[in-house]
Structure 1
Amino acid sequence: MSTSTSKATPSKKGGNRSKWFPLVWVIPVAVVLLAAAVLGAQWLRTLPEVQSFLTDYPGHVERDEAQGFPVWVQWSHLFNILLIVLIIRSGWHVRTRQRPPAHWTRNNTGLIKTKGKPTKISLDLWLHLSLDALWVINGLVFYIMLFATGQWQRIVPASWEHIPNALSAALQYASLDWPHENSWVSYNSLQIIAYFVTVFIAAPLAIATGIRMSGAWPKDAAINKVYPVEVARAIHFPVMLYFVVFIIAHVTLVFTTGALRNLNHMFGGRNEESWFGFGMFAITMVVLIALWFAARPLILRPIANLMGKVSK
């Protein structure tokens, strides 16, 4: 993180307090809730009725065809990792920084021209919107390939049987007794529903609310009466929190349910437990860390100047 984001801010009592301090209380609360969930799930599994339910609904709906993970899924997933982490970071800066390091004014010579005085935004918001545009492009390619190749069947719950099986899988995960899975063939029901919500609900909501909040949205549009900017703001931040929770849960399960095999699936396109996928994942993390530290005003200013004018 850049030095400008790590500066302490004065508290009401006169001391210095990091802007991340309000999030500290989340850690002990999360630990207590997680422990309670695990103990509760383990107790539930001792009940005969619950054991019968788990037998009837093991957590997945059987599929015979092996689809694997084609190259376009691997690259789309890789780009998504890089973009979504930086989008969340820049979005958090937009929300929390009271004094941004610089501002950006767009050259009013593009395809979309503003009337009157050009809009000035923070450099943080410029980065956030630029990353959003790349994320949307990556998402559109993913949607097209998803339906063109039949891979949509992996993440669309086409049967009502997925609901009880998802509850079963959730209970098994919570009790730390992982459900049987073979993601090379198909995801379990809880994974399918989670991916469906992420791809077809959370992502479109993030885009729709982000566009409504942007300066490019027409201020006199008729739809503004039924879709005010306050509604978009009220939805956009919880959607960001959903992505954070999803990423944490997703990464945790990747590393606790067969790390080498899972990493080979998504980073190597192979169904084996070699170190190839881990190596590709490690390279991706190095690139992500480099981009994280590169996303600072010193490096962003000359790039932003190519599309507008940067001022302090």
Structure 2
Amino acid sequence: MGSLPWSLVTTEPTPASGRRWMRWLVVGIVLVLLAAAVVLFARWLRGLEPVAEFIERFPGSYPLPDDAPVGLPAWLGWQHFFNLFLLVLIVRTGLTSRLEKRPPALWTSKRNRKRRMSITVWLHLSLDVFWIANGVIYVVLLFATGQWMRIVPTSWDVIPNALSAGLQYASLDWPLENSWVNYNSLQQLSYFTTVFVAAPLAIVTGARMSAFWPRHADRLNRAYPFAVAQAVHLPVMIYFVAFVVAHVTLVLLTGALRNLNYMFASRDAGDWIGFGVFALALLAIAAGWALIRPTVIDRIAAAFGEVLRR
């Protein structure tokens, strides 16, 4: 069979794809205009005398207790990397499991033949187990080393200081800070919410939706309906994605080299070592993303159950 002319095998953009790109363009323009309006409004507010006095009184952070640790230990950097690595893969597999209409493969437990699920759901739950274990280790070390004082509010001054820090960020005039010693109050509240609110919500809602939840516990299921967990789980995931995007953006905009040294090299310095470790971390995440393929996942899953690929 002869080859087709190039003009016959190329595809022209369809009207539907053109409309889709136009919608995204409009959304992008609206977001840019909205961001510009927020910045202008915040700068106008900061020009008002009462607001300027408020910022002077509450600069964005409050002093930590006298026995609070200074600096970020190496274990915190490793925890940060493992959390990011697992979270990226968890979000990917979670979205894939929601969008797939016909699972490419099914996994059946060796211990309980009635326990069957999509191979994507099995991978998602397996990653969840490692993420939870990493989180438990993190919380234990957090309280054992006193690092909890950096992310758990110890004064009601956290509220006005968080408002002040948010206004300063919105005006693009960053709050003065030294994260090696103390996070600003907006950071503290966001980290506290992520660790002690969003993460537990993700765990308890994910557990309710998983195949390991007792299906015949009628009273428990009535007290905690599946629909409630389902309604909460996706917004929590969206929160994690938004947090990561905002976190990375501010890390890069508010002194990238020093911040990356804090987070990935446990060093109070402005050189390129932290950036190098961060680049290696991104390569590891990319490798993990690439390894999510049938030839790899099927072999791992087969060690714990039976894999039937369609």
**TM-score relative to the length of structure 2:** 0.88
Aligned to 2:41: 40
1:82-121 equivalences under 5 Å are 82-108=85-111, 114=112, 117-121=113-117
Match of 2:162 among 163, 166, 189: 166
Aligned to 1:74: 77
Pair 1:292–1:21, CA change in 2 (3 A): farther
SS at match of 1:103: strand
Matching of residue 265 in structure 1 with residue 262 in structure 2? yes
SS at match of 2:174: coil
Match of 1:133 among 102, 120, 129: 129
Equivalent-residue separation in structure 1 for 2:40 and 2:300 (angstroms):
51
Which structure has more helix as a fraction of its residues? 2
**AA of the residue aligned to 2:243:** F
Equivalent-residue separation in structure 2 for 1:20 and 1:304 (angstroms):
39
**TM-score relative to the length of structure 1:** 0.88
Equivalent-residue separation in structure 2 for 1:89 and 1:216 (angstroms):
21
Aligned to 1:31: 32
Equivalent-residue separation in structure 1 for 2:77 and 2:180 (angstroms):
13
SS at match of 1:200: helix
Pair 1:56–1:281, CA change in 2 (3 A): same
Asked whether the 8 Å contact 1:66–1:184 carries over to 2, the reply is no
Asked whether the 8 Å contact 1:53–1:168 carries over to 2, the reply is yes
Pair 1:217–1:177, CA change in 2 (3 A): same
SS at match of 1:104: strand
**AA of the residue aligned to 1:41:** A
Pair 1:82–1:42, CA change in 2 (3 A): same
Equivalent-residue separation in structure 2 for 1:33 and 1:141 (angstroms):
41
**AA of the residue aligned to 1:150:** G
Equivalent-residue separation in structure 1 for 2:298 and 2:21 (angstroms):
25
**AA of the residue aligned to 1:277:** G
Please, which moves more after superposition, 221-230 or 144-153?
221-230
**AA of the residue aligned to 2:100:** R
Per-residue deviation, 1:66: 5.1
Aligned to 1:182: 178
Structure 1, gaps ≥5 residues long: 1-12, 109-113
- Once the two structures are superposed, what CA deviation does each residue of 1:232-261 show, in whole Å capped at 9, x if it has no partner? 001100000000110000000100111111
Equivalent-residue separation in structure 1 for 2:97 and 2:30 (angstroms):
26
**AA of the residue aligned to 1:107:** K
Per-residue deviation, 1:220: 2.5
**AA of the residue aligned to 2:252:** F
1:211-230 equivalences under 5 Å are 211-221=207-217, 222-230=219-227
- Once the two structures are superposed, what CA deviation does each residue of 1:171-196 show, in whole Å capped at 9, x if it has no partner? 00011000001011110000000000
Aligned to 2:307: 310
- Once the two structures are superposed, what CA deviation does each residue of 1:270-303 show, in whole Å capped at 9, x if it has no partner? 1001111000000000011111111122321111
1:172-251 equivalences under 5 Å are 172-221=168-217, 222-251=219-248
Please, which moves more after superposition, 149-158 or 118-127?
118-127
Aligned to 1:9: none
Count of residue pairs the alignment pairs up: 292
Matching of residue 123 in structure 1 with residue 119 in structure 2? yes
Per-residue deviation, 1:36: 2.3
Structure 2, gaps ≥5 residues long: 1-13
Pair 1:25–1:83, CA change in 2 (3 A): farther
Matching of residue 144 in structure 1 with residue 150 in structure 2? no
Asked whether the 8 Å contact 2:208–2:229 carries over to 1, the reply is yes
Per-residue deviation, 1:34: 2.1
Please, which moves more after superposition, 119-128 or 63-72?
63-72
SS at match of 1:274: coil
- Once the two structures are superposed, what CA deviation does each residue of 1:90-145 show, in whole Å capped at 9, x if it has no partner? 1110111212322211212xxxxx4xx52321111111101000000000000111
Superposed CA RMSD: 2.2
Pair 1:66–1:138, CA change in 2 (3 A): closer
Equivalent-residue separation in structure 1 for 2:198 and 2:21 (angstroms):
25
Per-residue deviation, 1:309: 1.3
